[in-house]
Amino acid sequence: MGPSENMMGKDVKLALIVSDSAKAQAGAMLLRDSHPWVSSQEADVLVVLGGDGFLLHVLHELLDHDSIKPVYGMNLGTLGFLMNGPLEDGETIARRVAEAHPVPVRPLCMDAVTQNGSKFSYYAFNEVSLLRETRQTAKIEVRINGRVRMEELAGDGILLATPVGSTAYNLSAHGPILPLGSRMVAMTPLNPFRPRRWKGAILPESASVELRILEPGKRPVAAVADHKEVRDVAIVRISATAEKELTLLFDPGFTLEERIFAEQFQV
């Protein structure tokens, strides 16, 4: 049973989390007196005001807490693909949340080892990307489930995107859009020079990916998990993690899945 089904018959405690932008702060002024808000610790659902970037920031913060709560985003920022629209006249935030549909999202886990042996672990709800740091072309060996699938990918880099992130950087790099619930990951090359005609791959979420940097001293590469960057990497391992699954809430009629369908039929 999803969160929205559980919430229809009871008073749901809501917490308001607002970005620093002037637009979000102005929207919060109108909302604060319209509902008996509680703290984030007491809340059943977190209502987030801002744009996609701020929502991702909140999701990353939730990963560090034992109690992971559903998130309802309201677009008062620049981008709002992951957000719901503002309230219409006569609507209440409590009703919006009660009628919203839950969408589970699973992040990718990135484990990176640098050239000097330092280790870093970060999560990504959109994508993990490997990017060349200099004018020199990046050269990357691609291993999947312990087997070398590509001895050398030469280009600007490579990325792995979740279904949620498949419409972001991945789409700009001509990668495939993945339906929600597909439990797949898009692997997309960034301006590949060799093999020139390789368009990428669609992998099952269960796949374990290892990317090894070739000639790292001459061709340094940075790894980025959403907004966390690790420079001069030697090996990057990426896998999906069900243990960190979060829930986004969307208004009926124009869910995230519908937006993903709409992106595929734009002309």
Q: Is 251 a catalytic residue?
A: no
| Same domain membership, residue 92 and residue 33 | yes
Q: Which pLDDT score, from 0 to 100, does residue 15 have?
A: 96
List, as residue ranges, the binding site for NAD(+). Answer: 52-53, 57, 126-127, 156, 164, 167-172
Average pLDDT over residues 215-238: 96
Looking at the structure, do residues 60 and 93 belong to the same domain, yes or no? yes
pLDDT tier at 76, thresholds 50, 70, 90: confident
Instruction: Report the alpha-carbon distance of residue 240 to residue 207 in Å, rounded.
Output: 8
| Model pLDDT, residue 200 | 96
Residue 8's φ and ψ, nearest 5 degrees, are -60, -35
Same domain, 126 and 58: no
pLDDT band at 179 (very low <50, low <70, confident <90, very high): confident
Same domain, 254 and 236: no
Is residue 209 located within the same domain as residue 124? yes
Question: Quick one: 58 and 135 in the same domain?
Answer: no
Whether residue 84 is found in the same domain as residue 129? no
Indicate which CATH number applies to the domain containing 217. 2.60.200.30
Dihedral (CA of 142, 143, 147, 149) sign: negative
E strand or H helix at 62: helix 52-62
Domain count, the chain: 2
Name 56's bridge partners: none
pLDDT tens for 127-171 read 999 999 999 999 999 999 999 999 999 999 999 999 989 988 999
DSSP three-state, residue 192 = coil
Instruction: Say whether both 132 and 226 belong to one domain.
Output: yes
Q: Which residues are annotated as a binding site?
A: 52-53, 57, 126-127, 156, 164, 167-172
Domain shared by 142 and 206, yes or no: yes
Decide if pLDDT at 53 tops 50.
yes
CATH number assigned to the domain comprising residue 36: 3.40.50.10330
CA 76 to chain CA centroid, nearest Å: 19
Question: Residue 202 and residue 204: Cα distance in Å, rounded?
Answer: 7
Pair (206, 117) in one structural domain: yes
Structure pTM? 0.84
Q: Among 52, 64, 89, 251, which one carries the catalytic annotation?
A: 52
Same domain, residue pair 95 and 113: no
Containing domain of residue 142, as a range?
Answer: 108-241
Q: Which residue has the higher pLDDT, 4 or 149?
A: 149
Q: Is the same domain home to 60 and 71? A: yes
